[in-house]
């Protein structure tokens, strides 16, 4: 069995494994397993709905790289501004003919909303504005929380 690593842009890389029965991962190989795990909690993460690479679909490396970018965007939106793809393994499935894909994400520390400053507000006090916006000072900063406020 031979293995090689291909380094891509923005810190991404793919591990390619050549299996005697399967050969190198091909663009048209079937994806039979797709798992995203967190390096911090070692928990399996939900595959984003925006992923085009899915179980049962044909593997396409360029589409998969776009999926990885969307995965990082989701982590940033969830308040993990320093998230990065720690590793990606694309390997032959042990149970069936096809490819298993394993992605490990290092979230980094979550962004925390430390303070908010209001300027140019004369009709409401800072306390009134914070109460109306429902800001969670000291809580995790997320894109959804910002948009809802």
| Neighbour tally for 68: CB within 10 Å | 20
More confident position, 135 or 24 = 135
Residues listed for the chain:
149
Q: What is the mean pLDDT of the chain?
A: 75
Which pLDDT band holds residue 43 (cuts at 50, 70, 90)?
A: low
Rounded mean pLDDT of 140-148? 65
| CB of 36 closer than 8 Å to CB of 100 | no
69-119 pLDDT, tens digit per residue, is: 998 888 888 888 888 999 999 988 887 788 999 999 998 888 887 777 777
Q: What is the pLDDT of residue 63?
A: 92
Q: What is the pLDDT of residue 134?
A: 67
Rounded mean pLDDT of 45-59? 85
Distant-in-sequence, close-in-space partners of 6: CB < 8 Å, separation ≥ 6? 13, 14, 16
Q: Which of 5-14, 18-27, 89-98 has the lowest mean pLDDT?
A: 18-27
Query: 3-state DSSP call for residue 109?
Result: coil
Buried b / exposed e over 87-116, threshold 16 CB at 10 Å, is ebbbbbbeeeebbbbebbbebeebeebeee
Torsions phi, psi for 22 (to 5 deg): -105, -35
Dist CA 61 CA 48 (whole Å):
17
Q: What is the pLDDT of residue 28?
A: 59
**Residue 18 pLDDT exceeds 50:** no
């Amino acid at each position: 069995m031979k293995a090689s690593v291909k380094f891509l842009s923005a810190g991404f890389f793919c591990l390619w494994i050549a299996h005697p029965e399967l050969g190198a991962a091909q663009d048209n190989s079937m994806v039979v397993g797709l798992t995203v795990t967190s390096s911090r909690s070692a928990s399996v993460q939900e595959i984003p709905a925006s992923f085009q690479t899915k179980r049962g679909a044909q593997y396409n490396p360029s589409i998969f790289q776009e999926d990885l970018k969307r995965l990082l965007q989701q982590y940033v939106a969830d308040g993990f501004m320093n998230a990065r793809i720690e590793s990606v393994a694309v390997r032959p499935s042990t149970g069936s003919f096809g490819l298993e894909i394993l992605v490990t994400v290092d979230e980094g520390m979550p962004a925390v909303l430390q303070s908010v400053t209001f300027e140019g507000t004369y009709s409401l006090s800072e306390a009134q504005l914070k109460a109306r916006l429902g800001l969670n000072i000291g809580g995790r900063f997320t894109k959804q929380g910002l948009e809802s406020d």
